[in-house]
Amino acid sequence: MAQTITEKIFSEHVGRKVFAGEIVRSNIDLVIGNDITTPISIKAFEDSGAEKLANPDGFSIVLDHFIPAKDIASANQARISRDFAKKHKLKNFFDEKDMGIEHALLPEKGLVVPGDVIIGADSHTCTHGALSAFSTGMGSTDLAFAMISGGNWFKVPESIKVVLSGKPKEHTTGKDIILEIVRILGVDGALYKTLEFVGSTIAYLNMDDRFSMCNMAIEAGAKSGIIAYDDVTKDFLADKDLAREPRIHYSDKDAVYVQTLEIDVANLEPVIAYPFLPSNGHSITQAVKDNIKIDQSFIGSCTNGRLGDLKIAAEILKGKRVHEDVRLIVTPGTQKILKEAFRLGYIDAIIDAGGVVSNPTCGACLGGYMGILGDGEVAVSTTNRNFVGRMGSRSSKVYLANSAVAAISAIAGYITDPR
């Protein structure tokens, strides 16, 4: 019987052919924790009486939400992970010395490999499906079980085939594609399913686009997002010292899908998600008509903090000035991205335009620090969520957009069409 790529990945890990709907116990290649979620996992691990990690080389802790520490509580929280990493001699522990947002840093480090099963105590762990891995978010106690046993229980998800056709127009990106998908499906339209992205458009999408798309699969309720291995994947991985040998899988032509969604990307314009749901998508044409004044523009996060995003922003901002009523905050995904952006002149262009560049952090995205919105303030943001109070005050508003929209809007003072 034919299988999807997701069913094949689980079949290889389980040691027999499995299909959607089955409950299976699978080994896990990479377990990911961060400074917020890992302390809970550590407590559960230690309370169980466990003394050794089942797969220490397959466990990574990335301190990325409140690092450098924003207050005493976050400093104490981070110390729990640091002490645990030192005690267990973790080689894949990342803090200020080699920092980055986990879902940008770990692919950069070669720790995400095609064919992997990956879990993380962060809902946007689905990002790593862009590298043809099954990757999903779980709770902190689920992580503890994996730390102890090396595996976990999964219900093999059904798959939705998302067929993307046509070459995207300039300034229509992977972010716009996934915002359109979330608009169509709604925030729970893909509940506990895999969004498998296929079609002629894929060949036009770079890894930045693919990471954005898989990152936001969860915003439609999906368990994971996934894109099959191709030359773009191969090129991205070429300079990486991979943690494992890639295991390449492709869906069979007659694989069973619970739903097929077709999108004509060639005619898609930039999409803006209005408050207060990622599914509240509108065209950039409509957003311009609505004359939406902004107080802040944010470019960064695990969704759009990659080198390509900084390049887009720098090209738009070069020789221009950020509007006097707008704060522009830019957060690179990793230190490596930041260094390369400096080398290429992107950071100079952003700073010269009046932007502020921070260290890699998730802080602004979840309303933690480095870009909190005050009462009644409005932001256009390249992040992945715009719930009530997501980036600060409960009376603030967040409009989700791609990096080009965020950059041009910072100049104009209103949400603006970059085309």
* Residues composing the chain: 419
**Contact predicate 32/139, CB 8 Å:** no
Written as six digits, the tokens of 353 are 């335009």
361-376 burial, b at 16+ Cβ within 10 Å, e below that, comes to: bbbbbbbbbbbebeee
Preceding amide of 39 cis, omega within 30: no
**Contact predicate 118/152, CB 8 Å:** no
Provide the terminal-to-terminal Cα distance of the chain, rounded to the nearest Å. 47
Report all structural domains of the chain as residue ranges with CATH numbers, in order of start.
23-154 (3.30.499.10), 156-241+251-268 (3.40.1060.10), 272-412 (3.30.499.10)
Give the pLDDT of residue 235: 97
Give the pLDDT of residue 118: 98
Rounded CA gap, 36 and 20, in Å? 32
Cβ-Cβ contacts under 8 Å for 229 (sequence gap 6 or more): 114, 131, 132, 246, 248, 249, 250
Give the pLDDT of residue 159: 98
pTM, two decimal places: 0.95
Written as six digits, the tokens of 331 are 């957060």
Rounded CA gap, 292 and 369, in Å? 24
Mean pLDDT by 10 residues, the chain (419 residues): 97 97 97 95 95 96 93 94 96 93 97 98 96 96 96 97 97 98 96 97 98 97 98 97 96 97 97 97 97 98 96 97 98 96 97 96 90 97 96 96 98 96
- Looking up tokens 């809007």 gives 409
Give the pLDDT of residue 80: 96
Give the pLDDT of residue 380: 98
Give the pLDDT of residue 40: 96
**Contact predicate 398/390, CB 8 Å:** yes
Query: Strands, DSSP E only, in 40-189?
Result: 59-62, 93-94, 117-120, 134-137, 151-155, 158-165
Alpha-carbon distance values, 61 to 85, 152, 306 (Å): 8, 18, 20
Give the pLDDT of residue 88: 95
DSSP state of 371: S
Written as six digits, the tokens of 168 are 């995207």
State the helix-helix crossing angle for 38-47 and 140-149, rounded to 10 degrees: 50
Positive or negative, the Cα torsion across 374, 376, 378, 382? positive
What are the two backbone dihedrals, phi and then psi, of residue 398, each rounded to the nearest 5 degrees? Answer: -125, 125
Q: Which of 134, 349, 309 is nearest to 206 (CA)?
A: 309
